[in-house]
Amino acid sequence: MDRAPGLSVRLKLTLSYAGFLMLAGGLLLGAVWFFTLRHLPEFTNVPGGVLPRSILLRDLASAAGAVLLLLLMFGLGGGWILAGRMLAPLTRITDATRLATTGSLSHRIRLPGRADEFRELADVFDGMLERLEAHVAEQRRFAANASHELRTPLAISKALLDVARTDPDRDIGEVLERLHSVNTRAIDLTETLLLLSRAEQRSFTRERVDLSLLAEEAAETLLPLAEKRGVTVETSGDITPAIGSPTLLLQLTTNLVQNAIVHNLPGQGSVWVSTSVGPTTVVLAVENTGERLSPRMVSTLTEPFRRGTERIHTDHAGVGLGLAIVKTITHAHDGTLTLTPRSAGGIRVTVELPAPMHGPG
Ligand SMILES: Nc1ncnc2c1ncn2[C@@H]1O[C@H](COP(=O)(O)OP(=O)(O)OP(=O)(O)O)[C@@H](O)[C@H]1O
Ligand SMILES: [Mg+2]
C-alpha cells in the first residue's frame, strides 16, 4: 500500500516526551509565579534596603525562561534517545518481515530479553515463520513426489511405444494390454491427487451419515481382496451418526480397511472394524494384525507418498497416498486421526469426528 509520508513514531514519541516535560515545567513555574504574586508584599525589607516585588518577578521570569529552554533541549535529546531504545526491537521485527516477504522463510527474529509486548510479537512471528516454512517444505516435497509418481507411468508408456515402433514382430495385443494397465494406473493416481486437493479445500456438502453403514459397505466391497489374502474382516458397532461428505467418509473407511487387509500377515491375518459413539465424538477404529512396528515409524506413515516397510512379500503396488487422504479427509471434517502400533504387531487406526448436534436431521 502506498501511503503519504508522515512523522516517524520515534519523532512523535520524542515530541510528546518533550511536550509533556515543558508542560510540567511550565505548570510548576506558573505555580511559583502565582504564589509569589499572592503572598509577597509589594516591597520587602532586606538587609541593606528595600527589594521591590517587580524586580524579583523579572528575575524569576528570566530564570524560568532559561529553565524551560533547558527542559526543552533535555526533553528532545532524552526523548530521542529513549524512543530509539524502545523502538529498536521494532526495527528487527520489520527487517525480518521484509526478509520473509522476499521468500526467505528461514530467518528468525529471536529477540533476546525478558517478556514484553515486543518480544511477544516477535515470538508469535517466529512461530508463524516456522509453521510457514514447514508448510512450504511439505508442499514442495509433495509436488516433487507427485511429479515423480506421474512420470513413472508416462516413462513406461514411452518405453512400450518405442519397443512397438522399432520391433514390428512384437505382439501388439500384449503391448496394448500393458499400455492400458499403465494408463489406468496414471489416471487412478491423478484422480487420487484431485481427491486430495478437493478434500483439502473443504469444498463438499455435509450431510448426516452413519459410520457403521460405511464400515459395512467398505468391508463388503473389499471382501474379495480379503478372501484372496486369507484375511478375516470383522465389523461391529451400532448406529454411529456423523456429519460430513458420504463419498469422502466412505473413501476414508475404504482406505483404512484396504490398508488393514493389504499390510497384514499373509494367510492368517485379522481385521477388526468398529464404530462407537462417545459423549462429544464418534469414533471409527480399524485394527489389524501384522508386522511389529515402532511408534516412531508409525508416526510418519500419514505423510504423502510414504510407504512403510519395503514390500518383499506383498504384491500390493500402492503409491503411499492412502493414509495421507485419510488424514486430509479427517481434518476436513474437524476430526483427529491416531495411529498406534499394537504390541502384538499391526496397528490400530482411530478416526474421531465431532458428534453431530442433537436434533432432527
Ligand atoms: N493397517 C496397516 N497396518 C500396517 N501397516 C500399515 C497399515 N496401513 C498403512 N501401513 C503402512 O503405511 C504405509 C502408507 O500407507 P498408505 O495407505 O498411505 O500407502 P499404501 O497403502 O502403501 O499405498 P496406497 O494406499 O496409496 O495404495 C504403507 O505402505 C504401510 O507400510
Ligand atoms: Mg493404502
pLDDT above 80 for 356: yes
pLDDT for res 121: 94
3-state helix, strand, coil in the chain (%, to 5): 60, 15, 30
Beta strand spans in the chain (E)? 43-46, 49-52, 207-210, 232-236, 241-244, 270-277, 281-288, 336-341, 347-354
Residue nearest ligand 1's atom 11 by CA: 308
Contact 258, 316 (CB under 8 A): no
pLDDT value at position 56? Answer: 86
DSSP letter assigned to residue 297: H
Residue closest by Cα to atom 24 of ligand 1? 318
Beta-sheet strand order (sheet of 347-354): 232-236, 270-277, 281-288, 347-354, 336-341
* Ligand minimally distant from the alpha carbon of residue 149: 1
Mutation probe of ligand 1 site: the residue of 142, 256, 259 with most atoms within 8 A of C-beta: 259
Mean pLDDT of the chain: 91
C-alpha dihedral, 349 to 352 to 353 to 356, nearest 10°: 130
Nearest C-alpha to atom 8 of ligand 1 is from which residue?
Answer: 259
Q: Confidence class of residue 128 from pLDDT cuts 50, 70 and 90?
A: very high
Q: Given a cut of 60, is residue 314 above it in pLDDT?
A: no
Task: Calculate mean pLDDT across residues 300-312.
Answer: 76
Q: Which of 361, 20, 334 is nearest to 351 (CA)?
A: 334
What SS3 class is residue 313? Answer: coil
pLDDT above 90 (res 267): no
Helix 172-201 to helix 117-166 angle, to the nearest 10 degrees? 170
What's residue 167's pLDDT? 87
Query: Which residues face 347 on adjacent strands?
Result: 341
pLDDT surpasses 50 at 244: yes
Percent of the chain with pLDDT over 70: 96
Coil, helix or strand at residue 337: strand
- First-to-last C-alpha distance (Å) of the chain: 48
pLDDT for position 171: 85
pLDDT, tens only, 147-177: 988 898 899 999 999 988 898 888 888 889 9
Q: What is the torsion angle, in degrees rounded to the nearest 10, for the CA atoms of residue 236, residue 241, residue 246 and residue 250?
A: -20
pLDDT bin (cut points 50, 70, 90) of residue 359 is: low
pLDDT at position 361, please? 44
CB atoms within 10 A of CB 231: 24
Determine the pLDDT at residue 313: 45
Mean pLDDT of 90-100: 91
316 pLDDT band (50/70/90 cuts)? low
Q: What is the pLDDT at residue 312?
A: 45
User: Is residue 43 pLDDT above 90, yes or no?
Assistant: no
The residue among 28 and 309 whose pLDDT is bigger is 28
Give mean pLDDT, residues 67-86: 94
User: Which of ligand 1's atoms lies nearest the C-alpha of 325?
Assistant: 18
Please state the atom number of ligand 1 nearest to the C-alpha of residue 302: 18
Q: Give me the mean pLDDT over the 330-359 stretch.
A: 93
Question: Given this model, what pLDDT does residue 122 score?
Answer: 94
Q: Which residues contact 190 (CB under 8 A, 6 or more apart)?
A: 150
Counting ligand 1 atoms within 8 A of each CB, the residue from 150, 193, 263 with the most, and so the one to mutate, is: 263
What local confidence, expressed as pLDDT, does residue 169 receive?
A: 84
Contact between residue 359 and residue 227 where contact means Cβ atoms under 8 Å apart: no
Q: What is the pLDDT of residues 49-66, one digit of tens each?
A: 888 888 888 998 999 999
Q: What is the pLDDT of residue 318?
A: 77
Measured in angstroms, how far is the CA atom of residue 72 from the centroid of ligand 1? 74
Q: Which of 241, 247, 274 is nearest to 355 (CA)?
A: 241
Which ligand 1 atom is the nearest neighbour of the CA of 317?
Answer: 27
Exposure string (b/e) for 331-347, b if CB count within 10 Å is 16 or more? ebbebebebebeeeebb
Whose CA is closest to 73, among 25, 33, 29?
25
- CATH code of 207-354, in short, is 3.30.565.10
- Average of per-residue pLDDT across 212-236: 95
Residues lining ligand 1, judged by CB closer than 6 Å?
Answer: 259-260, 263, 288, 290, 301, 306-309, 318-324, 346-347
The rounded Å distance from CA 272 to ligand 2 centre is 16
CA contacts within 13 A on the Cβ side of 361: 10
Confidence (pLDDT) at 203: 84
Q: Locate cell 478434500: which residue? A: 199
